[in-house]
């Protein structure tokens, strides 16, 4: 591997979400600000939408790490469950145990009781649901039942949905109109632009221990990464990792546009012929 060759302590471009490597892009900062604002205002429903690979899970983990001690966090990372299984997950996350007995009505009642206990102890609950677009219709409807849990003054639980754009398509269905109307805050994650990709690469390399005197990606390599990845962080990671492997194999001090193009050919559906806009930068 290229770690020793480039003076790195660990792989800088893994695809597993790792908060150590999180890059605070403009869109992620806006999302975090909105999430904290929504918690402070006591709103019941928040929705964060992002395409595949835009860092929704990483954003969710960072948000959970930042919430104040007065909040109890509940996290459901795989909501592709039937209503009963989903409510069991929620019950376990708020301290009711893994095997809470009873049907849906009793489960909701026990969850409500636990939320009231936490409220009396000065704790408010935020439930974060990752990959929310995968929730079955009846389970999605369960969210409305949970959002009904409240005192005379405030909601007992705040629900944050992290999802792909398919969730918006589902919520436009007539049967979900009540749930759709309860979502007070929305945010859509943007892709990284070229300058953000350059800073993203630098930040991840720095976190991985790189202290060299030259950038490991030439300016044309960065431009190529922006073009081929379309600003999707996960694709940036995959292409950057492969480009460094190719540079290492060729004994180069940096990854050039050629290595990025070869990485893209290995990863994406691309024509064998190089793009003209890259060809005239071949010496870079």
CATH fold of 3-18+192-279: Helicase, Ruva Protein; domain 3 (1.10.8)
Residue 142 Cα distances to 58, 98, 104, 146, 178, angstroms: 25, 18, 9, 6, 12
Of the ranges 20-24, 101-105, 181-185, 229-233, which is most confident?
Answer: 229-233
Measured between alpha carbons, how far apart are the two ends of the chain, in Å? 25
Distance CA 115, CA 229 (A): 44
Q: Do domains 3-18+192-279 and 26-188 have the same CATH topology?
A: no
Rg of the chain on CA atoms, in Å: 23
Taken as a whole, the chain contains a residue count of 284
Question: What percentage of the chain carries pLDDT values higher than 90?
Answer: 67
Per the CB < 8 A criterion, the answer to whether 241 and 249 are in contact is no
Residue 255 has pLDDT above 50, yes or no: yes
Residue 190 Cα distances to 54, 179, 201, 226, angstroms: 8, 25, 17, 14
Secondary-structure class of domain 26-188 per CATH? alpha beta
Residue 274, pLDDT score? 42
The angle subtended at Cα 239 by Cα 10 and Cα 164, nearest 5°, is 100
Per the CB < 8 A criterion, the answer to whether 156 and 116 are in contact is yes
Summarize pLDDT for 31-65 with one digit per residue, the tens. Answer: 999 999 988 887 778 999 999 999 999 999 999 99
What is the mean predicted confidence (pLDDT) over 256-279?
71
Of 230, 237, 234, residue with least CA distance to 204: 237
Is 140 exposed, middle or buried (CB count within 10 Å of its CB: 0-12, 13-18, 19+)? buried
Residue 117, pLDDT score? 92
Summarize pLDDT for 85-120 with one digit per residue, the tens. Answer: 999 999 999 998 766 666 788 888 899 999 999 999
Distance CA 6, CA 217 (A): 12
Q: Which residues 6+ apart lie within 8 Å of 173 measured at CB?
A: none
> Domain-by-domain residue ranges, the chain?
3-18+192-279, 26-188
The angle subtended at Cα 280 by Cα 13 and Cα 283, nearest 5°, is 65
Residue 141, pLDDT score? 87
């Amino acid at each position: 591997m290229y770690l020793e060759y480039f003076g790195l302590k660990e792989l800088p471009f893994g695809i597993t979400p790792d908060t150590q490597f999180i890059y605070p892009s403009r869109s992620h900062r806006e999302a975090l600000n909105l999430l904290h604002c929504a918690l402070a205002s006591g709103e019941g429903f928040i929705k964060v939408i992002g395409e595949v690979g835009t860092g929704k899970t990483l954003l969710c983990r960072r948000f959970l790490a930042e919430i104040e001690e007065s909040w109890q966090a509940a996290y459901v990372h795989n909501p592709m469950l039937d209503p009963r299984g989903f409510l069991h997950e929620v019950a376990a996350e708020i301290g009711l145990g893994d095997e809470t007995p009873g049907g849906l009505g009793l489960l909701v009642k026990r969850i409500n009781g636990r939320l009231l206990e936490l409220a009396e102890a000065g704790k408010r609950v935020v439930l974060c649901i990752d990959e929310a677009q995968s929730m079955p219709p009846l389970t999605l409807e369960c969210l409305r039942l949970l959002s009904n849990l409240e005192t005379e003054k405030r909601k007992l639980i705040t629900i944050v949905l992290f999802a792909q754009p398919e969730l918006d398509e589902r919520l436009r269905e007539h049967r979900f109109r009540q749930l759709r109307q309860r979502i007070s805050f929305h945010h859509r994650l943007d892709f990284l632009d070229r300058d953000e990709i350059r800073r993203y690469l630098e930040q991840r390399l720095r976190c991985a221990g790189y202290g060299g005197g030259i950038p490991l990606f030439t300016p044309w390599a960065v431009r190529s990464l922006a073009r081929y990845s379309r600003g999707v962080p996960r694709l940036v990671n995959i292409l950057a990792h492969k480009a460094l492997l190719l540079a290492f194999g060729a004994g180069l001090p940096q990854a050039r546009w050629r290595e990025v193009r070869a990485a893209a050919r290995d990863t994406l559906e691309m024509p064998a012929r190089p793009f003209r806009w890259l060809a005239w930068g071949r010496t870079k």
